[in-house]
Amino acid sequence: MATLVLKNTTAAIVTITDASAVIIPASGQDTYNDPPMIVQLAKSQVLQALVTAGTLVVNDGTSDLIVAVGLQYLAELLTQSGFNTLPATIMLFQMQLGNALDSVSLPLTNCGIEIVQTAKTLTSFQARRGTPGTAGTTTIQLELNGAAVGGATLSWTTADAAFALKTVAITVAVVVGDRLSFRLTSAETGAEDILAEAN
């Protein structure tokens, strides 16, 4: 789970008015691990202004970050809230239907769209399929801006254990504003859940 610590460098209480009116005590700090709250804080224009002014210091749970790195960390938290894979991994999606993957109409496209906030070259696409099915094959395809990424296809069969991790090497440049998602093209009968990442 991602961690966000905010440290108040002043002798006055600081209120982040556009994030549930979060209050940071005078000369104190607060720690956040709850993904919904982290998302609110990462989106906060007030927080960004307070960090830029030096009123609040961002800490990743281990170290205090300089202003530029702190702002970058907030941007990465917005992309990957709830996961401790920062900054190397871009979390694409978590698909939890609560029932069998084959209960949806296939192909299922544009799942878990995520806006890229850091330009980088992705070098791997990996995913876990949850509960195995009883027949057939589950196949997903990485998409960039709605188009299939060549070679970025992963498949599981009933022979694969629950949460079996599959990885494929890719070389895909992404820029700020790009959309990452996946396409479920086939599903084992009775299989459940997919969790995937691009690195």
In this structure, are residues 188 and 134 in contact, taking their beta carbons and an 8 Å threshold? yes
Confidence band, pLDDT 50/70/90 cuts, at residue 1: low
In this structure, are residues 174 and 125 in contact, taking their beta carbons and an 8 Å threshold? no
Identify whether residues 62 and 103 lie together within a single domain. Answer: no
Pairing relation of β-strands 90-95 and 194-198? antiparallel
Containing H/E element for 49? Answer: helix 45-53
Angle at 111 between CA 34 and CA 79, to 5 degrees: 35
In this structure, are residues 181 and 109 in contact, taking their beta carbons and an 8 Å threshold? yes
Q: pTM above the 0.75 mark?
A: no
In a domain, 118, yes or no: yes
In this structure, are residues 167 and 124 in contact, taking their beta carbons and an 8 Å threshold? yes
From 14, 48, 80, the end of a domain falls on 80
129 phi/psi in degrees, rounded to 5: -100, 135
Identify whether residues 146 and 192 lie together within a single domain. Answer: yes
Rounded average pLDDT over 165-178 = 88
Residue 86 pLDDT > 60: no
Identify whether residues 193 and 109 lie together within a single domain. Answer: yes
Rounded average pLDDT over 12-33 = 90
In a domain, 85, yes or no: no
Residue 81 pLDDT > 50: no
Q: Which of 51-55, 67-71, 111-115 has the lowest mean pLDDT?
A: 111-115
Identify whether residues 15 and 73 lie together within a single domain. Answer: yes
Domain range for residue 46?
4-80
For 12, residues 6+ apart whose C-beta sits below 8 A from its C-beta are: 26
In a domain, 179, yes or no: yes
Q: Is residue 119 classed as helix, strand or coil in its secondary structure?
A: coil
Roughly how many angstroms between the first and final C-alpha of the chain, as a whole number?
17
Identify whether residues 113 and 183 lie together within a single domain. Answer: yes
Beta bridge partners of 56: 8
Instruction: Note the pLDDT of residue 119.
Output: 80
Greater confidence (1 vs 101) lies with: 101
In a domain, 100, yes or no: yes
Identify whether residues 110 and 189 lie together within a single domain. Answer: yes
From 80, 100, 117, the end of a domain falls on 80
Q: Is residue 14 classed as helix, strand or coil in its secondary structure?
A: strand
Question: How many domains does the chain divide into?
Answer: 2
